[in-house]
Structure formats: C-alpha cells, structure tokens
Structure 1
Amino acid sequence: MKVTMEKNKIAELLCVCFMLSQGLAATLNCSSPTAPALFRELERNLFPEHLMRPVETFSTPINITLGITVVGILGLDEKSQTLSTVLWEVLEWDIYGLNWDEQECGTKRVSVPRDKLWIPDILIAELLGDNNYQRTPYVYLYNTGHVYDDKPISMVSSCRLNIYTFPFDIQNCSLTFGSYLHFADDIRLIQGSSSEDILQESRDVMETSGEWELADINVAGTTLALESGEYSEIQFFIVLRRRPILYVVNLLIPSGFLITVDLFSFLLPPQSVDRCSFKMTLILGYTVFLLIMNDLLPVTGETTPLINVFFSISLALMVASLLETIFITNIQFASSQYGTVPHWLKVLVLRYLVVIVCLRTKEKTTRITVCIGPSNGDIAAVNTISTNSSGTQIISNNTLPDKLTPAPPDPPHHHLSMDLLKKLSRDLAAIRLQMEKHFQGSIASQEWQMIGTVIDRLLFILYIVFILSSFITISGIWIWNNSYST
C-alpha cells in the first residue's frame, strides 16, 4: 500500500514537472458557446499563470512583434533638446499551447483584463520627464493564443538636435524600444510593419499640423551588449522637417528690407545730406527688430544657427557703414587739416583698391589763367598762375602780341595808370589763387578725399556681395530642404 502511494506521488510530481516544462500549454474546452463558459476556462487554465512567461521552456525566448504609429508631433524644444510626440504602440506575442475551438466557445477573439496576462516590460530608452502612458485596461486574446496589445503613448523623449540650418532644418530623432529587465535570451523583439507602411499609416492618422511635418521613418533592429548580457532592441528613426514660412516672413524678409535700405543709402552724397543720421536710425531699427524677434530664434549650447551668423554680419556691416560715413564726412570737411597720406595707405588704396572698385583718379587742376584787358584799347595783360612740382606758386605776366592790340603812343600819365592796373591784377590773381586753394583743397586733402571715396565704393561692393551670397545660400538650403526624398 505504501509502495502504491509513493508511486502515485512520484507520478503526480512528474506530471507537475511535465506541466512546468511545457509552460502554459492548454486547450480550452468550453461547456457552451457563451462568454461565461469561456472565461471560466480562462480563469482555470490561463489567468493563474500570469506571472510566468508563456513559453515552452525557461530557455525558450518569446518573440514580441513591435510596431508604432506616429499620431501627433507636439513640438521640439531646442533649448532642452526634447521631442514631444503621441504614438500608438502595438505589441503582439503568442501564448504557447493556448487555443480553443471557435465554434465550441462561440468566439474567435475576446478582450481580457491586462493584469490577468503576462505583459512584456517594453520601454523607450529616450524617455524623459513626465510621460503619460495612458494604459488601456484590456488586451485582445485570440483563439490561437495570440495576444494583441495596443495602447497610446504621450511622451517627451530626448533628441539630439542640429539647428545649424534653422529654419530650414531637418531633425532625426530616435526612439529605442527594448525590455527593461529581460535579456535577448528571454525576450526577442521583432519588427512588425515595414518603415514605408508605418510612414504611410502615420501620415493618414496624423492629427497635428503645426511647425513640424513628418518626412520619413526608418527602422533598424539592434542589440545592446553589456557585461551582464545582451538586450534585443528596435530603433525607430523619426525624421522631422520644419515648416519655415513663419520664420521667413517674420525674420528673413524684414531683415532683408532693412539691409537693402542701408545698401541704397550709399547713393546719398555725404557732403550734401546727413547720411550718418539716416544710418543711425537704421541701426536702431534693426536692433529693436532683433530684440523683438529674439524669442523666435533657437537657443542651444552646441551649435550656432546660420541665421544668427547672418544677423550678426548684417549688423556688423551696418555699423561698419556708419563708421565709414563718419570717416568720409570728416574728410569732406576737415581734410585740409590732415597731413600727408602715408605711403603704404596711398599705395594700398590709390593704386590697388581703386582698380578693384573700378574708380579713376581725378586729374588735379593746378593752372589758373586770368586775363585782364583794358577797355580803352590799352595793351592787354595776361597773368598766369601755376604750381610747380614742389608746390611753389608762380605768377607770370605775359603781354599779348602787338598785332592783337593797337600801339599808339601813350601819354605819360597813362603809364602810371597801367602800372597800378598791373599791380591790382597781380593782387586779384593772388586772392583768387587762395580762394581756389580753399575750395579745391591741397593735394593731400584731395588724396584723403579719394581714399574716402574708394572705401565707400569698396563697402558698397561688399554689401552687394554679402546680399547676393546670403540670398543664394538661403535659397539653396530651402530648395534642398523641400527636395528631401522619403
């Protein structure tokens, strides 16, 4: 009798071990095709084992099919380097050995409470801050033992942003799905739909139309190797493209208008109008514009956006044009007080830069002829005032040929009058020479004025080159952004 009891215990123990080795293999036999009958079978054969992985043996990995759908893109924060999205996460796996007859139990699929089944611990590695998983209380269970788990996720994840080409930038953010605890020997992730299907479905159900649009989705299966073991992971790369119209209208176009106005201000002659006040007003307006639009510009600690460089160079050119206008204005009104132009500056500006800016040096007039003719038929005198190479002024008196004037004999008192007239003519010529020197300036002042003109033309050309290069660069980046192929 004792031997029989021991044999029965051994048989029961072997049966239990066999059941454990076979996992949760069970065929449900419903007493009737009703929901209560099916749930009684599930309560008896499946629900008590929800703490165990539903596999044949402990060494058998369970395959988890993973798929996502991007429902909404809430935004990207450049300062905190985060991405806010809303996803639908779909997990599918099979419970080993579980099945029932559709006709016998009355249904092919039934929803069961989530906490009654074993659920894989699949998490996203890039999650940050407060994330709302919005777990649904039920999952679908099919008569083949297949489990379908679909739940929405509203999350904030980390994303390494590159804003160098802002506002024409394209961002590539990754979402890495994997088990938090189980190694690849226990849980193996398998990609569900293809990247093309995920992209198309996401575009069909997209509920947001804000600053960012979904450009592409790529999928890659990876393995994270650590000292303790390897983890099976799937990475989804979400490619986002910024809609730049808002920034073009609010930033680039107004800035381009102000720069263009400052460019055409070079056409104003500095000697006749107050160009400095005009340029100072433009700089003040541009500074106020940058302060107002500062909130629209991205802020990061790694990369300086190209648009910030554009604004900085524009402001620097405006300041340089103001300083250059001050210099030219000073030359126009105080060049006579300057000394001789340094030789290196004269060679650099008046020999080389003048050729680059396509200007010609003006020939300086240093000869003035004054003719004084008597009204009563006396001999006409011609006083010629010239300046030699050393700057010495020479006043010469020439008498017209006799054939041009009559030569009647003059009375004695007429010679005295002619001497006074000649002296007066020499005095008038000297006065006129000083006036011409005052208005025309000396050779040094003319050279300073020519240097100012060359610098003004050079800065004008640099302005044109900067505007053209900026326009070409911005247009090229915009075209490249819009031609991104998915």
Structure 2
Amino acid sequence: MTYSTKLFIVLQGILFLLLSIFLQFPYVNTNEVELRKLLFHKRSYDRRVCPEAGITKVHTNLILLQIESVDEKAQVVTSNVQLICAWCDPYMSWNISRYNITELSVGSKHLWTPDVVLVNSADGKYSRNREHYALILRHDGYVRFMFQDLWKTICKVRSTYFPFDQQHCTIIIRSGSRDVQSIKFIQRRPLVGRSFIRGEWELINSYTEITDERVSDFGQVDYSLVRFTLILKRNYVHYFMKIILPFTLVSFVTLFTFLLPPQTGEKLTLNVTILLSLVIYLQLLSGYIPKSDDETPILTLFCNANFFLVVLSCIMTVYVSYLYHRPSTSYIACVPTHMKIILLDYLSPLVYCHVNKHLRNRQLLQHDMEEKRPRRLSSIEKHMCQLFTVTAPVRPHNHQAVELLKILHQIKAHIRSQWLIPLNSHNEYDIGNEFLKIDNRKRLDEWQHVALVLDRLFFILFSIAMPCTALLFVFPHSSIGNNFHSNLTNIKVQTSDAKCDLIYTPMIT
C-alpha cells in the first residue's frame, strides 16, 4: 500500500466523522425547535390565566443576600434579595423519551408568572427587574422563577441601643390581583449553600409565616400573605474601635487631673485640654449616630454623661485650686466647724489623707520660727538697768569715780529716752503682726488640707462614676428590652417543593 493510499484512507475517516457530527447537531436542534414551536406557537396559551384549575399552589422562598442600607430617620431598610417561586403548569409538559430534552430556559413573556407585589414597600416605583430573568421549564410542567432585586421596605428601626442594636424587620409579599381562591403561597424548601454577605449588618435568624388576611375592607376577599421576618444585628466592631474606645480613654484621663498636686497649677490646663478633645469627638460622632426623633441612642447619653463628668471635674478643679491658693489678705477666715468635722475628722482617714502628719510638720516649723525670733526689748532694758545700778553700801573713794558714775547715769537716761522706749513700742507692734501671721498660716494650712481631702474625694468618686457609665452603656443591649428573639423563631414550618410528575401526565407526547 502506497503512501498516497494511506493518506486517502485517513482523510476519508476524518471526513466521515465530521459528517456524522454535523448530521447529529441539526437533529438535536430540530427537536428543541420543534418542541418550542409546539409549546408556544402551535397551541393557544394565555399567560394571564392561572395554569391550574382551582387554586394554583406557588411554593416560594426568600434569600437575603445583603442589607444595603438602613435609614433610621426614614424607617426604611434597603435589602438585596432573591425571590424563588415554583409551581406546576401542566399545559407545558412533554414526553421526555421522544424529544430527549429535560428542561428549557424560557422568557417571562411566554409563561404565566405570579404577580408578586411588595406590601410594605417604601418605594413608589414598581420594579420591573423580574421581567429580565428567565424561567426554568421542566418536562413534567415544573416551573421555577428566580429573580434578584433591591427592595425598600418599611421597618420600625429602634436606635436606642446603637451600635449594639438588633432589628426585627419583615418583608411582606402577596399576589397583586389574585385572592386566596386563585393563588395559595406555600413555603418552599430552603436552598443549601447560600451565604449572607456580611456588611454593616449580620443576619442572626429568619423565619417565614404564611397567612390569609383581608387586605382592605372593600369586598370580602382574603389574600395569601407571606411574611419573611429577618432578625438583623449590627456589626459594632468598627464603632467600638474607632469611636467608643478612644472617647472612653480620653474621658478616663480626667481621673489623673485629681492626682496632680494643686501647687503645680497644671490641673485646670489638663482638664480644658480633655474637654476640647471631647468636643472634637462629639463632632465626629454626630455623623455616625442615627438621627431618630422618637428615641435617643444610648451612645448619645453615654457621650453626654462623660462630657458632663469632664465639665464637672473642671468645676471641681477650680474649686480645689481656690481653696488651696487662698487670697493673700491680712485676715484669712477660719474653716467652718461642720467642714472640719466632716472633711478633716471623718473623711480624711477614709480617703488616705491623714491630717496628723501634716499638722506635726507645721508645729515643728512654728517652733523653729519662735526660736529664731528676737528677744523682747524689756529683757534688754533689765540687763542695762542692772549694769548701771549701784548698791547703797558702795562708797566712791575719789571724785573721779563720782564723776564717772554721773556720766553713766546720764548715758542710761539717754539710752532709755532715745532707744528703749521707741524700740519697745515697735517691738510690741511686730509681735502682734507675727502672731497674726502665724494664725493666718494655721488657717491657710487648714484650708489647704481641706482642698487636698476634697481632691482625693473627687478622685474616688470619679473613679466609680466613669466605669459605671461605661458599664451602663455596654450591657443594656443584652436586656429584655432589646431581645427580639420571640417564640416564633422556634416554629417548625413544613417546607416542600412543587411535585408535578406525580400529579399530571405529559400534554405533548
């Protein structure tokens, strides 16, 4: 066999294979085209009429993909959802053994679809996104319609426990023109593997309720309503790390202002700096806190409470500084008796600010001042008189001694008239001033000790008040008022899907 003969046999095989493939595709395509012509063109089909005689059972299920936004002021929740509806259309069934096709993708304009409307819609425009989605038609007449849309629903948003809040929102759907005698909604089996896209909100739980209710008083007609209840929880990590924690730490720095000594003069400066920092944080918080008219968020109360404590600490710091640095006047008032008893006697040991050691140091200082104080001028005069006094038995032996004694008496008289009397009066005035200064110093020491006791007392009070405000803010979200989990979350509802192969026989054989 020559080389050309072998090449001819190979090319003949390839040509035969390609010819068989091209002949098979038109055959399959002809089956689908023929089936579509029989289903939608050669037979009369009115898509405005319900497919089943009597009540058409529509199995429905809602898949929440993401919470787009929550408007607390307008009480509107925008959610990205997928709605799945399944029903039986016996008029659209065929024999699978003849056409070898199990299912078709059909546009919504060729088949009947339930006119689902959103009852609690907050959007005035009717969404037509569902018209762009195809339906899945199975050989036994099973039809599945799944479309995705953004729904704006009215929801009572409670912003009291922001950002630790949970919301209880409901999406209600029904047929727009068919009552319960024509369309009956049934909960469909949930899809496995669908995950919620976590953003600011997290889906905690969901359940479905199907009831027959009268929508309006016009006509004695009931409609089949489906309530998809969603329990949402806000992700508070962002708010806690970016807002709450820094605001709390800045507020807690206020405690250290009471630990600074009053004589430093930096207590009020630190307080004013903290106050300005909190004002800046409040400006940032105003953009995050929900604006609700009927409820005040607990975060607002927490910020206002901390701001009030910082302002109060500024006032207390000014008062303590005023008590410690009393005005330097000629007379300082005494500490009132009741203040001495309450602050110095009772509260001073409790706040670990003892008065005995302080007073002992002041007494030692006063004793040193008295030791260094000059003697009284009367004692100097006494010594001088003893020096110039001559006793009676003394007899001068000569005239020079008598003259010397007279000169000494004249010196004594001159000293007494010129020095001792003015010095004595001036000394008495200085003594009075010295005693007044010592008395004023004692009173000033008492006022300073009162200021120290009050400073330590304010530190203890603020150390208790600030953690209490933080605890009252963090833990109320777990209280009964914020617990949205009701008994309905534990209801076990029977779910099913449309089963058409057990009920209807194929219409096209």
With structure 2 as the length reference, what TM-score do the two structures score?
0.68
| 8 Å CA contact 1:128, 1:158 repeated in 2 | yes
CA contact (8 A) 1:283 1:319 kept: yes
Following the alignment from structure 1 to structure 2, what is the Cα–Cα distance between the partners of residues 356 and 150? 73
SS of alignment partner, residue 295 of structure 1: coil
Alpha-carbon distance between aligned partners in 2 of 1:372 and 1:147, rounded to the nearest angstrom: 113
Match of 1:49 among 46, 50, 69: 46
- Deviation digits for residues 218-275 of structure 1 (CA, Å, limit 9, x no counterpart): 2222332343332212211222222222212221222122112221011112233142
Q: Which amino acid aligns with 1:36?
A: V
Q: Which residue of 2 aligns with 1:221?
A: 210
1:371/1:96 CA distance change after superposition, 3 Å: closer
Give the Cα–Cα distance (whole angstroms) in 1 for the partners of residues 141 and 74 of structure 2.
Answer: 44
Of 110, 113, 120, 1:116 maps to 110
Question: Is contact 1:133-1:153 (8 Å) kept?
Answer: no
Residue 111 (structure 1) shift: 2.4
Structure 2's unaligned 5+ residue stretches are 1-28, 391-411, 491-509
Of 32, 35, 39, which aligns to 2:36? Answer: 39
TM-superposed deviation, 1:321: 0.9
Correspondence for 2:135: 139
Q: Pick closer, same or farther for the CA change 1:374–1:41 going to 2, 3 Å.
A: closer
The letter of the residue matching 2:320 is: I
CA distance in 2, matches of 1:221, 1:288: 50
Task: Give the strand-richer structure, 1 or 2.
Answer: 1
The offset of 1:316, in angstroms, is 0.6
1:440 to 421, 439, 442: 442
Separation (CA, whole Å) in 1 of partners of 2:175 and 2:254? 61
Matched residue of 2:440: which SS?
A: helix
Amino acid at match of 1:457: R
Aligned residue in 2 for 1:173:
169
Please say if residues 33 and 103 of structure 1, whose CA atoms lie closer than 8 Å, have aligned partners that are also in contact.
Answer: no
Once the two structures are superposed, what CA deviation does each residue of 1:22-51 show, in whole Å capped at 9, x if it has no partner? Answer: xxxxxxxxxx98223323332367653222
CA distance in 2, matches of 1:74, 1:374: 85
Show the counterpart of 1:463.
462
**Separation in 1, partners of 2:117, 2:373:** 113
Q: Distance in 1 between matches of 2:174 and 2:305?
A: 47
| CA pair 340-431 structure 1, distance change in 2 beyond 3 A | closer
Residue 300 (1) aligns with residue 295 (2):
no
Do residues 162 (structure 1) and 165 (structure 2) align?
no
In the alignment, which of 200, 205, 219 is matched to residue 211 of structure 1? 200
CA gap 1:342/1:411 in 2 versus in 1, 3 angstroms = closer
Quickly say closer, same or farther: Cα 1:309–1:94, change in 2 above 3 A: same
Q: d(CA) in 2 for partners of 1:214 and 1:122?
A: 24
The aligned counterpart of 2:98 is 104
Report what 2:184 is aligned to: 188
> Structure 1 residues 371 and 170 mapped into 2: Cα distance closer, same or farther (>3 Å)?
closer
Q: State the secondary structure of the residue aligned to 1:48.
A: coil
Residue number among 267, 282, 291 corresponding to 1:290 in the alignment: 282
* Counterpart residue type for residue 466 of structure 2: I
Tell me the secondary structure at the aligned position of residue 164 of structure 2. Answer: coil
Partner of 1:93: 87
Bigger mean CA offset, 65-74 vs 350-359: 350-359
For the pair shown, which has the larger CA radius of gyration, 1 or 2? 2
Change (3 A) 1:465 1:96: same
Whether the aligned pair in 1 keeps the contact of 2:39 and 2:92 (CA below 8 Å) is no
CA shift, 1:149, in A, is 0.8
Structure 1: stretches of 5+ with no match in the other structure: 1-31, 384-396, 400-406
Letter in 1 for 2:297: P
For residues 373 and 79 of structure 1, the distance between their equivalents in structure 2, rounded to whole angstroms, comes to 78
Separation (CA, whole Å) in 2 of partners of 1:117 and 1:41: 14
TM-score normalised over the length of structure 1: 0.71
Give the stretch that moved more between structures: 123-132 or 113-122. 123-132
The match for 2:25 is: none
Seen in structure 2, the aligned counterparts of structure 1 residues 451 and 440 have a Cα distance that, compared at 3 Å, is: closer
Question: Which deviates the most, 277-286 or 360-369?
Answer: 360-369
8 Å CA contact 2:173–2:226 kept in 1: the answer is: yes
1:12 corresponds to: none
The secondary structure found in structure 1 opposite 2:73 is coil
**Distance in 2 between residues matched to 1:463 and 1:35, nearest whole Å:** 82
8 Å Cα contact 2:70/2:76 also seen in 1? yes
**C-alpha RMSD over aligned residues:** 4.2
Distance 1:319 1:103 in 2: 85
Of 154-163 and 83-92, the range deviating more from structure 2: 154-163
Q: Please give the alpha-carbon distance, in whole angstroms, between the structure 1 residues aligned to 2:477 and 2:302.
A: 15
Distance 1:131 1:53, change over 3 A: closer
Instruction: Give the CA deviation at 1:117.
Output: 2.2
> Within the alignment, does 1:62 sit opposite 2:56 as a pair?
yes
SS of equivalent to 2:87: strand
| Shift in Å, 1:320 | 0.8
Following superposition, the deviation at residue 454 of structure 1 comes to 4.6
Amino acid at match of 2:200: E
* CA shift for structure 1 position 81: 2.4
Q: 2:312 aligns with which of 309, 314, 320?
A: 320
Q: Does the aligned pair in 1 maintain the 2:47–2:112 contact within 8 Å? A: yes
CA deviations over 1:337-367 (Å, ceiling 9, x no partner): 7867778877776787668756556697898
Of stretches 348-357 and 312-321 in structure 1, the one that deviates more from structure 2 is 348-357
When residues 344 and 202 of structure 1 are mapped into structure 2, their CA distance, relative to the original with a 3 A threshold, is: farther
Distance 1:453 1:45, change over 3 A: farther
> How has the CA–CA distance of structure 1 residues 343 and 65 changed in structure 2, closer, same or farther, with 3 Å as cutoff?
farther
Counterpart CA distance in 2 for 1:126 and 1:374 is 94
Further displaced range: 137-146 or 87-96: 137-146
